[in-house]
Amino acid sequence: MSYTEFLAEHGPRLLDGTLVTAAQFFLATALAIAVALVMGLMKLSDNWLLKGVSVVYIEIFRGTSLLVQLYWIFFVLPLFGVTLEKFTAGFVAVGMNLGAYGAELVRGGILAVPKGQWEAAYSLSMSPARRMWRIILPQALLNMLPAWGNLLIELLKGTALVALISVADLMFEARQVNSATYLSAQTFGTALIIYYVFSRFLITPFMRWLELVMRRKMGRA
């Protein structure tokens, strides 16, 4: 069987899987951003309770494996009365895991904003919330954008694990095709290339573009 024949026969399946992977990617990204912002800000808080919660969250999710967390959320959480459907369990696990890494980026990005900016905002009598939202966060965002580019690639790679709880993503479909055909090089090779194109030609250029736009908007181009 030639590679073109292989693609004609199994390409549609891999494409379906790719769409599911894309959906997992976007949902998990949205969750990761939300978690990162909340946990990152909480870790900078003076309130020991908020700070403590974020430290525990970050350490647990960064200290154990994504796969362990995924299995735990899917298989163990129902015992606590929280049953998530496998598609939901998939992006929730990925989003919560990468969100913990993102929280450290948020924290680092905020701390990298020069002290003078805090003082200037304070001298304008801005409320702490307004100061954070209007003055500090936009600058912090620019500081951490390059690191987020790498994080999103890690997140995309993380979504491949949802196949192990039978979410029909690209990884899952590749395994199905492989066990049906035993054409491992073609199957897994194609899947690898799709992931590569996704991160190298979609995520990376998009993040570069975003950085450029932000830079221009903030007059730092």
| Binding positions for other proteins, rule: CB under 8 A | 59-60, 63-69, 71-72, 75-76, 79-81, 153, 156-161, 163-164, 171, 174-175, 178, 182-185, 188-189, 191-192, 195-196, 199-200
Q: Which is nearer to other proteins, 79 or 129 (CB)?
A: 79
Which residues, at least 6 apart from 99, have a Cβ–Cβ distance to it below 8 Å? 31, 32, 33, 34, 35, 36, 39, 61
**Beta carbon nearer to other proteins, 79 or 221:** 79
Torsion sign over Cα 105, 111, 112, 118: positive
**Gap between the Cα atoms of 195 and 142, Å rounded:** 27
Which residue, 70 or 110, is less far from other proteins as judged by CB? Answer: 70
Q: How far is the CB of 46 from other proteins (least distance, A)?
A: 24
Specify the residue, 87 or 172, whose C-beta has the smaller distance to other proteins.
172
- Closest approach of other proteins to the CB of residue 41, in Å: 23
Residue closest to 75 by CA, chosen among 144, 4, 165, 171: 165
Closest CA to 150 of 111, 100, 102, 91: 102
CB–CB of 26/95 below 8 Å?
Answer: no
- CB of 7: closest distance to other proteins in angstroms? 17
Cβ atoms of 196 and 25 within 8 Å: the answer is no
Cβ-based nearer residue to other proteins, 49 or 185: 185
Question: How far apart are alpha carbons 110 and 106 in whole angstroms?
Answer: 6
Q: How far is the CB of 99 from other proteins (least distance, A)?
A: 16
- Least gap, CB of 55 to other proteins (angstroms): 11
